[in-house]
Chain A
Amino acid sequence: MIPSETVLIFLRVLAGILLLATLGLVLIFLWRDFRGAAETITSTRRPYGKLTAIETIGNTSVLTGESHPLLALTSIGRSPSNAIQIEDSFASAEHALVALRDGQWWLEDRGSRNGTLLNDLPVTQPVIITNGDIIGIGQKHFRVELEN
C-alpha cells in the first residue's frame, strides 16, 4: 500500500504540469493564429480599392460603415452571384459592372430596369470613373475609393 501523502503529492505535481501544458497550448494557439493573420495581410496583393456605401441625410453625405473591395471585374446586383450583392428592391439582379481595362476603371450598366447613376447622371454607355465618383444603384450610393 502506497502512503496517501505520496499519492497526493504525485497527483498535485501532475495537475500542475497539466496546467502549465494548458498555458503553453493556449499561447501556441494564439501565437500561430496571430502569425497566420499577419502573413495573410502581408502576402496578399494590395487591393485595388473599394466601394464605400454612403447615405445622404439632409445636405450631408455620411458613411454607413459598409464597404466592398473592388476586384478587376466587379459585378454589382441583387443576385447572389454578383461580387457585390446589394439588398435593395430597386436594384436589378444583374445591375452594373465596374471593370479595370487598360489601366482605367470603367463603369457599365448591364441593362438594369432603374438604371445606374454616375454622380447623379444616368450611365448609358461604359464610362471611365475616378476616385471620389459616386455610383448610384437602386436607392444605394457608393463612393469610389481607388488605391494608387
Chain B
Amino acid sequence: MTGVTWHVLPIPEAWQHRLARALLVLAGLFLVINTLALTAVQGFRASLWVSIAVWIVCAVTGMLWLERRMPKADTLLFPLAMFMSGWGIVIISRLLPAFGERQTLWLIISLIALLATTSIPNLLSILRQFRYLLLVFGLVLLLTTILFGTNPSGTAGAPALWLGAAGIYFQPSELLKIVLVAFVASYLAEQYPIFRSTDLLNGDKKYYLSPRIVGPILLMWGLCLVVLIWQRDLGTAILFFIVFILLLYIASGLNRVAYGGAFLILAAGISAYFLFDVVKLRVDIWWNPWLDPDGRAYQIVQSLMTFSAGGVFGEGIGQGFPAYVPVIHSDFIFSALAEEWGLLGVVTIIVLIAALVSRAFIIAVRQRGRPYHTLLAVGFGILFAVQSILIMGGVVKLIPLTGVTLPFFSYGGSSLLVSFIILGLLLRLSSGES
C-alpha cells in the first residue's frame, strides 16, 4: 500500500472499457436499424442518415478522447448519454425532420462542451472558489430572463423562459441548474462542520435549527417562488426546490429537513392551486382529465392513448400516430417512445436513466471524506432523477404535469447542452480530481 489514500477512486478495469464499447456499438446498431425501418416507412431522407453519421462520429470521437484523456473516469456514463441522445434524435427526426437536424447540430455543440468541460484544469475547485460570483451570475441570469425573456414559438401569453438573439434561443433556467447544484454543494460543504457538530468530550450530537440551516432553506424557497410567480415555470421551480432539500438532507442528516421540505412543498402547492390558474389547471386535469378530454386535457388524454396503443412491443418506428399529442417532441417525447417501442422501450429508458443516476451516486459514495465532491455528484444525480421522474410521471398521469424536459431525450438545445456539461463534471468527479 502506497502513501495514497481513500481519495483515490477505483480505476476502471479492462472489462469495464470493453463493456462500455459494446454498449456504444449496441446503441449504434439500434439507431441504424431504426433508421432503416424509418426509411422503409417514410422514404429516403438524406438528412436523417447524416444525423446518424454525425452521431457515430460523435460517439467514436468522444469515446476515444475520453479513453485517452480520462482513463480513470467512469466508463459507463458516456455510452449511456450517447444512447439516450441518439435515440432522442431518431424519434425527433421521425416526428419533425427539421427539429431533428437542429438537435443533431446541438449534439455536436454538446459533445464539444463535454470535451471542454473535461479539459479545463481545476474546474471543480474553480466552481468551489467562485461560488458567490456564480450565485450572483445565476441570479442576474434569472433577472434578465424575467425582464427580457421571450418564447421561440412567438405565441402571446406563452411562458417567456428563453433568451434569444439572432435566431438562437437559450433557456437560462437550464444553466441555472448547474449553478444551483455547484453553489449549494460548496455552501453545504463549508457548513458541514456545523451540521455534524459533535461534542467530543461527551459525544452528544448537537442538532439545532440554527439560521445556518433555516436561512438558506427560506432563501431557496423564496427563489423558487420567484421563478414560479414571475415565470409560470412550475417544473423548474419544483425541481430546484426538491434538489435543494435533498442536498440539505444529505449534508445535515436531519430527518426534520426532509419533513419540513415536504411540508413547504405541500404548502406552496396548495396555495399555488388557489392563486395561479396554470397550477389549478394542471392539478384539475391530473385529477380527472375525462371532464374535458377534447379541450384542456387533450394533451394528457392523447398521451395516455399513445401508451395504450404502444402495448408491450410497440407499433414500430414510424408506424404509430404520436402526432396527436401536442408538442410531443419536447416534454412529451416519452409518450412518442412508448407508442413506437412499447413497454420494452419504456423499461429500457428507465433502466438507462436509473443506471446513469446510480453511477452518479456511486461516484458520490466513493468520494470518502470530501463533502464538496460528494454533494456535487449526488446533486447532479438527484437533478437527473427528479427531472426524469417529474416528466415521466406527468406524462403517464401519475403526478400533475410539470413542464420539464426528459434529460438527453427531449428536443431542446439548452437541455442537451447542460446535460452533457453535467456529464463532463461527473466524469471529472469519477476520475478523482481534488
List chain A positions with a Cβ less than 8 A from chain B.
4, 7-9, 11-12, 14-16, 18-23, 25-30, 32-33, 36-37, 40, 54-55, 57, 60-69, 71, 75, 81-84, 143
In the complex, what residues of B have CB within 8 A of residue A65's CB? 189, 192-193, 196, 369-371
In the complex, what residues of A have CB within 8 A of residue B170's CB? none
List chain B positions with a Cβ less than 8 A from chain A.
1, 3-6, 10, 13, 15-16, 19-20, 22-23, 26-27, 29-30, 33-34, 36-37, 40-41, 76, 80, 83, 189, 192-194, 196-200, 206, 313-314, 316-317, 319, 341, 344-345, 347-348, 351-352, 355, 358, 362, 368-371
Closest to A15 in B: B33
In the complex, what residues of B have CB within 8 A of residue A63's CB? 192-193, 196-198
Cα distance A82–B3 in the bound complex, in angstroms: 7
Minimum Cβ distance to chain B for residue A51 (Å): 10
| A28-B19 CB under 8 A given contacts A16-B313, A65-B193 | yes
| A18-B40 CB under 8 A given contacts A30-B358, A65-B196, A75-B3 | no
Cα distance A71–B197 in the bound complex, in angstroms: 27
In the complex, what residues of A have CB within 8 A of residue B3's CB? 71, 75, 81-83
Residue from B15, B23, B33, B194 in contact with A14 in the complex, judged by beta carbons closer than 8 Å: B33
Q: Is the CB of B193 within 8 A of A11?
A: no
| A4-B193 CB under 8 A given contacts A26-B351, A67-B369 | no
Q: Is the CB of B23 within 8 A of A23?
A: no
| A11-B199 CB under 8 A given contacts A30-B355, A62-B194, A71-B3 | no
Q: Is the CB of A29 within 8 A of B76?
A: yes
In the complex, what residues of B have CB within 8 A of residue A66's CB? 369-370
In the complex, what residues of A have CB within 8 A of residue B371's CB? 65
Sample of 8 A–B contacts (CB below 8 Å): A19-B344, A22-B348, A29-B23, A61-B199, A62-B196, A63-B193, A65-B371, A69-B5
Given A29-B19, A63-B198, 10 additional A-B pairs, CB 8 A = A12-B37, A14-B33, A16-B313, A25-B22, A30-B358, A32-B15, A40-B10, A57-B194, A66-B370, A83-B3
In the complex, what residues of B have CB within 8 A of residue A61's CB? 198-200
Most buried by B among A21, A25, A67, A75: A25
The A interface, classified by DSSP as helix, strand, loop or mixed, is: helix
Cα distance A57–B4 in the bound complex, in angstroms: 30
Closest to B313 in A: A16
In the complex, what residues of B have CB within 8 A of residue A71's CB? 1, 3
Cα distance A12–B30 in the bound complex, in angstroms: 10
In the complex, what residues of B have CB within 8 A of residue A28's CB? 19
Closest to A44 in B: B1
Q: Is the CB of A60 within 8 A of B22?
A: no
Minimum Cβ distance to chain B for residue A68 (Å): 6
In the complex, what residues of B have CB within 8 A of residue A16's CB? 313, 344
Cα distance A32–B20 in the bound complex, in angstroms: 13
| A26-B355 CB under 8 A given contacts A8-B316, A63-B198, A65-B193 | yes
In the complex, what residues of B have CB within 8 A of residue A12's CB? 37, 313-314, 316
Cα distance A74–B10 in the bound complex, in angstroms: 22
Cα distance A66–B319 in the bound complex, in angstroms: 57
Cα distance A54–B193 in the bound complex, in angstroms: 8
Cα distance A6–B371 in the bound complex, in angstroms: 57
Minimum Cβ distance to chain B for residue A48 (Å): 11
| A4-B40 CB under 8 A given contacts A55-B193, A82-B3 | yes
Minimum Cβ distance to chain B for residue A49 (Å): 13
In the complex, what residues of A have CB within 8 A of residue B6's CB? 68-69
Q: Is the CB of B13 within 8 A of A60?
A: no
| A22-B27 CB under 8 A given contacts A12-B313, A37-B10, A60-B197 | yes
Closest to A132 in B: B200
